[in-house]
Structure 1
Amino acid sequence: MTKPSVFSVGDIVKLKSGGPDMTIKEVVTDMKNKPNGKYWCQWFAGKKLDSGQFAHESLIDVAVES
């Protein structure tokens, strides 16, 4: 089942449970190149650049939160 992409590359998000602001690095797609509701995000932990994949349901838009 494909899900519409709500966030775009470059959007600033964070986990609903808290944590650092993260930048959407990539919208994950299925084999038919349709968004699947997951995103690769990146953020800085001190000076180290980290990244991870997160489900849409676990993220909030920082701009909307403010």
Structure 2
Amino acid sequence: MQFAIGDRVELKSGGPEMTVQSIEGAAKCYCVWFNKEGATYKLEGSLFIQQTLKKIG
């Protein structure tokens, strides 16, 4: 499956809603999400293999 910058995704195994921020080569996406820590939100990000992701929304 191909993703585009701005797509809303999540891991096929579950987890937070993420946004594709960049595409790394043909097989990986860098995704970002917000993680609630107490009363604040922290921006998190990580690189994922595209086959582990699914589009949502």
Q: TM-score range by the shorter chain?
A: 0.7 to 0.9
Q: 13, 19, 34: which one pairs with 1:17? A: 13
Instruction: Provide the alpha-carbon RMSD of the alignment.
Output: 1.1
Superimposed CA distance per residue, residues 7-52 of structure 1 (whole angstroms, 9 cap, x where no aligned partner): 10000000011000000000002xxxxxx21000000011000000
Q: Determine which structure has more spread, i.e. the larger CA radius of gyration.
A: 1
Q: Which has the higher helix share?
A: 1
Share of identical aligned residues, percent? 38
The alignment's TM-score, normalised by the length of structure 1, stands at 0.76
Query: 1: CA distance between counterparts of 2:47 and 2:18?
Result: 11
Q: 1:42 aligns with which of 5, 23, 32?
A: 32
Which stretches of structure 1, 4 residues or more, deviate above 2 A after TM superposition? none
Q: How many residues align?
A: 53
